[in-house]
Amino acid sequence: MSERALADLLSEHFPDVYFKVMTPADKPEAHCPRDALLVSWVDGPEHAPVSAALRPLTEAGMELVCCRDITCERCGQPGPASPCLKCLPMTDDEVALMPWRRDRMTREELAAWLASREEAGRAIDIETCELGKWYADDCDPYGIREMIEPGYELIQTGTDRFVRSPDSRGWIHEGDLPTEKGQAMHERIERQRQAYEAAQVTGLN
């Protein structure tokens, strides 16, 4: 792609932002308020053409530098726009992965999401929801307290159960389920275990 075509593509996706292509050796001499590096990929399928155009630059040892003095209002880092690419609002698909995308939330958003787990637990349908389990801190199963409480340290790790549905906005720890739903979850797990073992026996006969 020619330099002009790349400039037109960047203008289409990031209006009013000035970019300069340079080698790492050139970067100290860049006449930019802040040398905020735009990496070789950009989040979101809508920016796929930009990612494809930047790849050859990266492979050739070039860098694309944003020459605009903007500080992201959320993370405080310089970048091509505010909010920066990493701080753009989360998509529904990203929220459904919570807490695995907790790095995309502010401390306030994390606290609000954590507070919403009990209500989500009351609303979820145990018989149709997705089941999951993984090792987690028994006192911080979502891995969030260490992010919002300075000085928090891992206490005890065990295998914890989680559930989620399309409407739950991410995973719900078994400790946030009402007692009857937690019991229903374990009963469902036991039924599935028995059905699996029966199928194994049938297959051997």
pLDDT interval class at 141 (50, 70, 90): very high
pLDDT interval class at 37 (50, 70, 90): very low
**Residue 77, pLDDT score:** 66
**Residue 115, pLDDT score:** 95
pTM over 0.75: no
The torsion region of residue 16 among left (phi > 0), alpha (psi -120 to 50) and beta comes to left
pLDDT at 52 over 50: yes
Q: Are strands 19-22 and 130-137 parallel, antiparallel or unpaired?
A: unpaired
pLDDT interval class at 28 (50, 70, 90): very low
Nearest 5°: the CA angle 19, 31, 59 is 45
Nearest 5°: the CA angle 73, 88, 107 is 65
Mean of the pLDDT values across residues 67-89?
62
% of the chain residues with pLDDT over 70? 59
- The 10s digit of each residue's pLDDT in 91-140 is 898 899 999 988 888 888 899 999 999 999 999 999 999 999 999 998 89
Q: Hey, what's the torsion of the CAs at 190, 195, 197, 203, to 10 degrees?
A: -170
